[in-house]
Structure 1
Amino acid sequence: MDLERARDLAVEAARAAGRLLSAGTADAFGVHAKGAAGDVVTDLDLASEKVLVERILTAYPSHAVIAEESGLLGAAGAEWTWLVDPLDGTNNVAIGLPAYVVGLALCHAGRPVLGVVHDPVTRQTWSAIRGHGALSPSGVRLAPPSRPLPHGPLLAWTQGYTVTRDDATVLGLKAALELHARRVLQLWAPLLSWVMLARGDIDGMVGYRPEAVDLPAGALIAQEAGMEIRALDGSPFDENVNATAADRSFVAAHPDTLPTLLPLLTPATPEPDPDHPHPGKPPTGNPHEETPTRGNPGS
């Protein structure tokens, strides 16, 4: 597999989708209810996804695609799988807030090896290939240094769409972060938060049961820029995209900053019990368990 060729295709596809989104947000577009919890999908999500999927499957007909709105497409059980987030920040777009991106990730046997995030507003694109670093829009390698935190860290927060407002772990985590952080951003566009971390704009990012499509592209870019990702208890993070939602919870930061963040998170994570074997994960059969193709609120 020529990953440089795949990156070129992904970058061009993301830019094409970005042009569509940029033009579409300048005019009226349809916004439709999705699900029973207040989520929305726009005509722009669907049009962008169509562009991305068609370009990927035309170039790689033997690959599988998991698209946010369409689910599994292409070759089921394929060795190579693309994750497509056609409009990360849908709720932002719906209210006229220009904070949204396009995300693509290529996974080999469930492990992300290529990530691309494109911002249609600024027309900038970030990308990474595993083991080869992360590139800025100008082609410069991303490698921000750690910085002192005299007033606490500047963090971004993301959570899965099906996480309820009264989730005890979320309430504990947010309370701890708000108490000790300088700011906690909730952008409704997690891939944009990942790029901000990779650039060094923010000091860390915390995610609680994030959706599969919101994670790999941005996380790989951040990792290849030198950031480290851990589970909330400090243990190794499971990068496999087939991991359960509970196992996808994470904290990410520069390796020098991570020891400062981890103590803020561990006390807020309740001890497992027989009904909740994983912190914050509902028992098997809970009707609120996430679906694999739905994004973070606003994604």
Structure 2
Amino acid sequence: MAEDYRELRQAAERIAREAGELLLGHYGRVEAREKGPSDLVTEADLASQRLIAGRLAEAFPGHTLLAEEEGVTPDPDRPWRWIVDPLDGTVNFAHRYPIWTVSIGLEHRGMLVAGAIYAPLTGTMWSAGLGGGATVDGQPARVSTADRLRNCLISAAFPTRFGPDAPRQLALMGRYSDGTHSVRRSGSTAWNLAQLASGGCDVTFGTHVNPWDVAAGVLIVREAGGRVTGLDGGEYDLYRPEILASNGPVHDEAAQAAREAIAASAS
């Protein structure tokens, strides 16, 4: 099975790297505009997506695409679906805050089978193929061995528009900050998942994520030995907005903490 997806994984890596080089050429040279309240886009996002879409269409003309920008939606009759965030961390990019990535995942008949996350500023590439393990810069990637939540560093994908959901967000932040090694908010969900896959953090969660934010990262975390569910610990659905990912051993404890926080925020 690992061999089946090798070419697809390599294509994701190659195209993510090319898009990353394009983004580096725009870094510090573009202005952002709002496509919605507090939701930024730049010409770099659009140029990156167009490049990725073109390369994928050339290499895999029978496949379809789901992507963040320009209303790109997939053909439901095509079983191979690329799920792309051409620039995850646009707000960071626009402010020259140095955490942003390119994320390219591939789904086949509802199953994630290949993915790559590229961080252009460091040249770091995470990737995975179903059954073939995960790598970071070509070396095996593995999640951490932390076995209790109190020993964990946690990363959060808080929504940009925090206010409408403030009670729940603050409850989660408070619960995960209490008795742990603290919480980090990077501004890039793909980055959070990549860090989890290579041991940089032990748990990551999000409440308002999109498929393109997480498709590649979910597969990479799984192939690195981690676990992915809904925020409450239930079955994971790529097309729902909540996610909880961990190294595995702390997952049940992390899910219980999330359930407690959400219940407290609603009372």
Return the TM-score normalized by structure 1. 0.81
CA deviation after TM superposition for structure 1 residue 125, in Å: 1.0
Return the letter of the residue paired with 1:43: E
Number of the residue aligned with 1:96: 96
Deviations 1:205-262 (A, max 9, x none): 1111311211111111011100111223322323xx3x333xxx22211222223323
Deviations 1:48-74 (A, max 9, x none): 111100000111112110111023357
Give the structure with the higher percent helix: 2
The 5-angstrom pairing of residues 114-153 of structure 1 reads 114-137=114-137, 139-147=138-146, 152-153=151-152
Q: Does 1:264 align with 2:257?
A: yes
The 5-angstrom pairing of residues 1-299 of structure 1 reads 2-26=4-28, 28-35=29-36, 37-72=37-72, 75-137=75-137, 139-147=138-146, 152-160=151-159, 164-238=163-237, 241=238, 243-245=239-241, 249-270=242-263
Tell me, in whole angstroms, the C-alpha distance in 1 between the residues paired with 2:183 and 2:168. Answer: 16
Q: How many equivalent residue pairs?
A: 263
Number of the residue aligned with 1:283: none
Q: Is the 8 A contact 1:61 1:74 kept in 2?
A: no
Return the letter of the residue paired with 2:32: V
Greater displacement, 69-78 / 107-116: 69-78
Structure 2: which 5+ residue stretches go unaligned?
A: none
Q: Is the 8 A contact 1:32 1:40 kept in 2?
A: yes
Tell me, in whole angstroms, the C-alpha distance in 2 between the residues paired with 1:161 and 1:6. Answer: 32
Q: Is the 8 A contact 1:161 1:210 kept in 2?
A: no
Tell me, in whole angstroms, the C-alpha distance in 1 between the residues paired with 2:78 and 2:149. Answer: 49
Tell me, in whole angstroms, the C-alpha distance in 1 between the residues paired with 2:38 and 2:149. Answer: 39
In structure 2, relative to structure 1, the CA distance for the partners of 1:160 and 1:218 (3 Å cut) is: same
Tell me, in whole angstroms, the C-alpha distance in 2 between the residues paired with 1:94 and 1:262. Answer: 33
Q: Matched residue of 1:269: which SS? A: helix
Return the letter of the residue paired with 2:252: P
CA deviation after TM superposition for structure 1 residue 178, in Å: 2.2
Greater displacement, 150-159 / 120-129: 150-159
In structure 2, relative to structure 1, the CA distance for the partners of 1:49 and 1:213 (3 Å cut) is: same
Q: Matched residue of 1:126: which SS? A: strand
Q: Is the 8 A contact 2:38 2:161 kept in 1?
A: no
Q: Is the 8 A contact 2:144 2:198 kept in 1?
A: no
Q: Is the 8 A contact 1:163 1:209 kept in 2?
A: no
Greater displacement, 188-197 / 148-157: 148-157
Structure 1: which 5+ residue stretches go unaligned?
A: 272-278, 280-299
Return the letter of the residue paired with 1:22: L
Q: Matched residue of 1:71: which SS? A: coil
CA deviation after TM superposition for structure 1 residue 99, in Å: 0.9
Q: Is the 8 A contact 1:230 1:236 kept in 2?
A: yes
Runs of 4+ in 1 over 6 A off after TM superposition: none
CA deviation after TM superposition for structure 1 residue 160, in Å: 4.7
Q: Matched residue of 1:125: which SS? A: strand
In structure 2, relative to structure 1, the CA distance for the partners of 1:150 and 1:268 (3 Å cut) is: closer
In structure 2, relative to structure 1, the CA distance for the partners of 1:150 and 1:231 (3 Å cut) is: closer
Tell me, in whole angstroms, the C-alpha distance in 2 between the residues paired with 1:74 and 1:169. Answer: 32
In structure 2, relative to structure 1, the CA distance for the partners of 1:112 and 1:162 (3 Å cut) is: farther
